[in-house]
Amino acid sequence: MEMAEIGATAAGGSNRQALSDDDVAGRELFAEWARGAGCTVMVDRIGNVFARRAGRDDAAAPVRSGSHLDTQPTGGRFDGVYGVLGALEVVETLHDHGIETDRPIEVVVWTNEEGSRFQYSMLGSAVWSGALLLESALQIADCDGITVAAELERHGLAGVVPALHTPTAAYVELHIEQGPILERDGAEIGVVTGAQGLRWFEITFTGRAAHAGPTPMDARADPVRALAATVNAVYDATRAAGDWARATFAQVHSVPASPNTVPERLTCTLDLRHPDAGTLDALEVALRDALTAATTLTGVTHELTRSSGTPPVAFDPALAQLVRDAADALGARHVDIVSGAGHDACHVAGVAPTAMIFVPCEGGVSHNEAESITPEQAERGASVLLGTLQRAASTHRSEVDR
């Protein structure tokens, strides 16, 4: 709640957009708290903050945990912030009780996760994990033309530590679910096994413009009929593909958009999501079959373009098991869940064993000033994180430490 006072909005949310004065004030408050818990604080060249608590074997690869402090312009008090302060709470708890861990533990604040001011989401973790070049990231500008490089410079945040991953024994990110599934299912903890892959398509149907009155229904080449048949077939295939499949048709445009003319052309976008690449392939085949069937039926032609996408992310099964063990030890009701949103953990998963822990949020509301969790939910998630990090930080030297 103290962090939420920085950049507080009228409707009870937070506005700390990446590298703004308020974002930096939040980072400074975090650093002050982290030093108070016995950590040393480092900043890398993209402004990612690492608060390190030494381990018994301080040369061993650290266990890392964190998230982001930046918010949407009308953001909530918990998205990202909860994961950073949850990890800090773990370190403070170990500090207060004089508990040592074999491996060092580092609490991480990733730069510009939200991508609202500088439009590249999960920027800091993308650079750190090698998915985006530092030089490219530094040149990204906000809508006033101010670059990431200029803001890092202005705030004295362009650190000297290379913004590139080093051996990491485990990365665990605690986050609010940002969806309604845990609350609906009465679960207290979500053990996140991975993140949805997504594919974007653009579909164009071309028919024949015709007068809405004199033209009989069977004498038309009506792109709307082709769209309707395609939408129904894709919805059916999505339902058949199980709980995690998602299909969203949006941005539907017709030309000419005149109420008394059968449109000549219709374009729409489709967003397909599933955590398994094979199922995404099957859904794409279903889409192509649906288009062929719908256009044959209606005498309309179609064009399909796959515009962009991201592959599914699978988190580390052994680390997910540590999360389950930690939840079981506390008697917390947990279920496996897939993340529908992108998180810094998705980038980190490319270079280190990674897991995420979700707690329910009220009504599944997020990216909204009304975002809320109870103190009990906050405590339970942080306790599961504590158990997970202690387990991960007590393993013996392995491959990763070479």
Give the footprint of Zn ion on this chain (CB under 5 A): 79-80
Minimum distance from CB of 324 to Zn ion (Å)?
23
C-beta closer to Zn ion: residue 80 or 360: 80
C-beta closer to Zn ion: residue 80 or 190: 80
C-beta closer to Zn ion: residue 78 or 205: 78
Q: Which residue, among 46, 198, 55, has the nearest Cα to 129 in the 3D structure? A: 46
Minimum distance from CB of 141 to Zn ion (Å)?
23
Task: Measure the CA–CA gap between 31 and 114, rounded to whole angstroms.
Answer: 21
Containing 379, the helix (H) or strand (E) segment is: helix 375-393
Minimum distance from CB of 179 to Zn ion (Å)?
12
DSSP state of 397: P
Minimum distance from CB of 315 to Zn ion (Å)?
16
C-beta closer to Zn ion: residue 80 or 312: 80
Q: Which residue is nearest to Zn ion (CB)?
A: 80
Per-position b or e across 305-334, b if 16+ CB within 10 A of its CB: eeeeeeebbbbbeebbebbbebbeeeebeb
C-beta closer to Zn ion: residue 282 or 341: 341
C-beta closer to Zn ion: residue 55 or 360: 360
Beta-sheet strands, E only, within 256-333: 261-262, 265-274, 301-310, 313-314
C-alpha dist (Å) from residue 123 to 18, 129, 162, 355:
10, 10, 15, 19
The secondary structure of 142-187 as a DSSP string is -TTS-BHHHHHHHTT---SB-SS----SEEEEEEE--SSHHHHHT-
Please report how the helices 81-96 and 21-36 are oriented relative to each other, as an axis angle in degrees rounded to 10.
Answer: 20
Minimum distance from CB of 122 to Zn ion (Å)?
9
Minimum distance from CB of 98 to Zn ion (Å)?
32
C-beta closer to Zn ion: residue 80 or 353: 80
C-beta closer to Zn ion: residue 80 or 179: 80
C-beta closer to Zn ion: residue 79 or 102: 79
Q: ∠ at Cα 142 (137, 148), nearest 5°?
A: 35
**Are the CB atoms for 213 and 312 separated by under 8 Å?**
no
Q: Which residue, among 249, 242, 257, 252, has the nearest Cα to 290 in the 3D structure? A: 249
Q: Which value, to the nearest 10 degrees, does the dihedral of the CA atoms of residues 258, 251, 235, 266 take?
A: 40
Minimum distance from CB of 68 to Zn ion (Å)?
6
Q: Which value, to the nearest 10 degrees, does the dihedral of the CA atoms of residues 224, 227, 229, 233 take?
A: -170
Neighbours of 61 (CB within 10 A): 21
* Cis, peptide link before residue 216, omega less than 30° from 0: no
Q: Which residue, among 388, 381, 383, 394, has the nearest Cα to 318 in the 3D structure? A: 388
Minimum distance from CB of 84 to Zn ion (Å)?
10
Minimum distance from CB of 173 to Zn ion (Å)?
9
Sorted by sequence, the CB contacts under 8 Å of residue 23 that are 6+ apart come out as 7, 16, 17, 69, 70
Minimum distance from CB of 313 to Zn ion (Å)?
15
C-beta closer to Zn ion: residue 79 or 369: 79
